[in-house]
Structure 1
Amino acid sequence: MSQARRVRGLAARTSGRRAELVAALWLMAKGYRILGFRLKTPQGEIDLLAQRGRILAVVEVKRRRTLDEALEAVAVEQRERLRRAGANLAARRPALRDAAVRLDLVALAPGRWPQHRADAWKGA
């Protein structure tokens, strides 16, 4: 692997972690409790797991130029994996068994406030 590729990869991971931190702070300001960051599951990685009341939000964080680009950046297969991962986590944690699992998106764009889209792909 070339040095340039390693540097780009490190920059992308750093940017992603910053985006996740900003998203977590944004959600906490909206009353969510953050239960986990970058949770590895057999179905895939969950960027953020957050709870507010009976809602368990599996949150995908995307940094793109627009909200539409962020929504399109998560393929149908990835959304299904994330839904299964959230349901699996909820089933294994007694305190979350009665929670309604929802797939949310926090989109970040340069020079703009974060945008939280609850149930981002409802019906999709």
Structure 2
Amino acid sequence: MNRRARAERQGRRAETIAAWWLRLHGWRILAQRARVPGGEVDLVARRGGTLAFVEVKARADERAAGMALDRSRLRRVAVAAERLATRYGHGCDIIRIDALYVVPRRLPRHVPDVWRG
């Protein structure tokens, strides 16, 4: 298997883990890999009046995962979130961009409101 295919498989696996982690913490997954012109969001999740556009990063360690979520990537997620908010945001008081880091041999780490952080 080539490097790109391996990375794609790893990314999909991390998104599945992230979706289940969020479900276990009371979130409802509304969409996976939601694409719009100008960007993509890995997961769209809702819990109560909060809508979260979640960027999932799988890396060897948490520091590398955090560094993978740079300003450029966050901008693309923000563009997608803005365009998707009208589709998924009805009745939400809070709309935010979160990150979820998936690292081997560790529990996933959900970082709320990473755009502002």
TM-score by length of structure 2 reads 0.88
Aligned residues: 116
Is 1:115 the counterpart of 2:96? The answer is no
Q: Is the 8 A contact 1:83 1:102 kept in 2?
A: no
SS in 1 for 2:105: coil
Alignment partner, residue 7 of structure 2? 12
Q: What residue ranges of structure 2 are gaps of 5+ in the alignment? A: none
1:105 to 69, 81, 99: 99
1:47 to 42, 45, 55: 42
TM-score by length of structure 1 reads 0.84
Q: Is the 8 A contact 2:46 2:52 kept in 1?
A: yes
Alignment partner, residue 85 of structure 1? 80
Whole-angstrom distance in 2 between the partners of 1:117 and 1:71? 10
Q: What residue ranges of structure 1 are gaps of 5+ in the alignment? A: 1-5
Q: CA offset at residue 38 of structure 1?
A: 0.8
* Identity across the alignment (%): 41
Alignment partner, residue 3 of structure 1? none
Alignment partner, residue 23 of structure 1? 18
